[in-house]
Amino acid sequence: MLAMALSATLIGLDAHPVRVEVEAARGVASFELVGLAEAAVRESRVRVKSALAQVGVHMGEYRIVVNLAPADVRKSGSGFDVAIAAGTLAALGVIPCESLTDVLFLGELSLTGSVHPVRGVLPQLVGARMRGITRAIVPEGNGGEAGLVDGVEVGTVTSIRALVEALRGAEPLPRAIAIAANADAPPLDDLVDVRGQFAARRALEVAAAGGHNLLFIGPPGAGKTMLARRLPGLLPPLSSTEALEVMAIHSVAGLLTSSRGVIPSRPFRAPHHTVSEVGLVGGGENPRPGEVSLAHHGVLFLDEFAEFRRSGLEALRQPLEDGLVTISRALAKVTFPARPLVVAAMNPCACGFRGDGTSRCVCSPERVRTYRARLSGPLLDRIDIHIVLPPVNVGAMQRGRDGETTTEVRARVGSARVVQWDRLKRGEVSAATNASLPARDLDRACALCEAGSRLLGSAVSRLALSARAYGKVLRVSRTLADLEGSAAIAPHHVAEAIGYRTLDRNVHLSASTAA
C-alpha cells in the first residue's frame, strides 16, 4: 500500500514542504530511504523501527520504501521521524490513510517510542500556514512556540502510542498552548547607576532613538560595558511582528523552550572575542544563525572589539550595511535577518591606559598604530557614532547618582521612534528607523538648511569623510532633530553629528603624533 504524510525542512528561516511517500509490500525485509537525505534523516529508519515495535507493529515481513520529495531539496535534522512513522503506519494499514490528509507532522522519535522536540517548529508552522495547511502535530516540547501561530490547529504528542490512538480517532491530542511571557525575567539595568560619562549617555540615547551603531573607546573601568548593558532598557518594546521574527530565529537555533517563555524584551547578545567567524555571523555545514542574527531587533555587544578575529569582523560588513547575512553553499543559499543595534567597545591602545592622564601607558606609537589597525577603515565607516570615554574620577563616584533614569530617557527615545514611524506610515520614507534609511530617502527626510549644508560640506572636505560617512552624519542629524521634536535639521544638530565622526579620528591622530 502507498501512503503519504506531510512534513517540512528549513533552509535558513524558509520552510520548504516535503512529501513523505511510503510504500509497504510483503517481501524480503528491508527499509530504504531516498530523497537527498542527510545522515540524521537516514538514521530515522532505525528510530522508526524501534518506536513502532513499542506499539506492536513489526516490519519483519515487509519491504518499506520511503521517498522524501522533492528529491532535489536537501533534507537535514531529525524532524522527519514522526512523518515517516505516520506514513509507515498508514502504508501498513494500521491507521487510515485519510487521517494524514493535510496534516503537517514534525518531531523526533526515541527508541522507546517517545516524541522529542526539534528545532525550527515556529517558522515551519508559519510556512505551513502560508501554504494553506491548517492542521499540524508537533512534539509536546514544542507546543509553546507552536501555539503562537494563529490559523493552524496544532496538536501535541508525547509518544507514538498517543499518535496512533489520535489518528485512529480514539483519543484526540491536546491542543498546543502558547507560552506566556516569562514573569521571572530579571529587571533591566538602569542608566541612573552610571556615574559621570554624560557625553556617553547622550550618545547612547541617540543610538537608541535612531537605531545607530555605536563605538565606545576608553580605558578599562570607564564604563563601556556598563553603558552597553543599559541600552536594551532604552529601546521600545518589541512589536508582535518583531517578536515573531526574533523567536523564529531562536527556534531555528534551538534556543526557544517552553520553560524560557516568550522573549519579553529585545535580545542582548555579548559573544566573547574568541568567537569564530561562523559563531559570529552564522554558517556551518547546515547553516545556522550566528550571534548577529540572534541579536536581530536587539543589541549585539562586541566588547574588546579589536581583539575579535579580523575575518569575523570583516564578515560583519554586509549585515551592518544590508541587515542580512547570506550564506552560500553548493546546494542552497541561506539568508538570515541580521539588523541588531551594534555596540562595540575597545581600549585606546593594547595596554588600555593611553590618554588616561597618567603615565601607566607603556605602548609605543607604533604599537598603538598596530593595535588600531586591526579594525579596517571600511568597518569603522559603517559605525554611525564614535565616542571617547575619559576615566571616571573619584569625585563622580562619590557624588552618587547624578543622571537621568532609564525611564526618563526611554520616554524621549520612544517619542523620537514615533516620529520616525509616522514618516514611514505617511510614505515619506521606506524604513522605520533613521539608521536604516536608504540613500534615496536622504534628500527628503534629511534636507539641510543652507548653514547646515555649508557646515557639513566643510567637514567632508576638512576631515576627508567618505560618501558613506556623509550619509551617516545626515541620518544621525535627523535623529538629533527628532529627539528635540524639530521637523527641520538645524546646524547644531549637524555639528553634533559631525562630532560623533571625528572623536575616533582625534584619538588616532593623537596616538600617531605623540612620541
CATH domain 2-167 topology: Ribosomal Protein S5; domain 2 (3.30.230)
DSSP assignment, residue 393?
Answer: P
pLDDT band at 397 (very low <50, low <70, confident <90, very high): low
User: pLDDT above 70 covers what percent of the chain?
Assistant: 92
Say what the pLDDT of residue 287 is: 87
Sign of the CA dihedral with 256 first, then 257, 262, and 264 last: negative
Q: Comparing 371 with 509, which gets the higher pLDDT?
A: 371
Domain spanning 191-513, CATH class:
alpha beta
- pLDDT for 506 beyond 50: no
| Per-residue confidence (pLDDT) for residue 232, from 0 to 100 | 93
Residues 45-71: pLDDT tens digits? 999 999 999 999 998 889 999 999 999
What's the 3-state SS for 231-293? Answer: CHHHCCCCCHHHHHHHHHHHHHCCCCCCCCCECCCCCEECCCCCCCHHHHHEECCCCEECHHH
Q: What average pLDDT score do residues 388-392 get?
A: 86
Report the pLDDT value the prediction gives residue 234, as an integer from 0 to 100. 95
Asked if pLDDT for residue 507 goes beyond 50, the answer is no
- pLDDT (tens digit per residue) in 182-223: 555 567 788 988 888 899 999 999 999 999 999 999 998 888
The average pLDDT across 320-347 equals 89
Domain extents in the chain: 2-167, 191-513
- Positive or negative: CA dihedral 127, 129, 134, 140: positive
Backbone φ, ψ for residue 440 (5° rounding): -65, -20
Structural contact between residues 295 and 263, judged by C-beta atoms closer than 8 angstroms: no
> pLDDT-based confidence at 135, cuts 50/70/90?
very high
**What is the distance between the alpha carbons of residues 105 and 85, in angstroms, rounded to a whole number?**
10
User: Does residue 396 have a pLDDT over 70?
Assistant: no
- With a cut of 70, say whether residue 160 has pLDDT above it: yes
Average pLDDT value for residue range 422-443: 94
Q: Kindly report, residue by residue over 470-479, the tens digit of the pLDDT.
A: 999 999 999 9
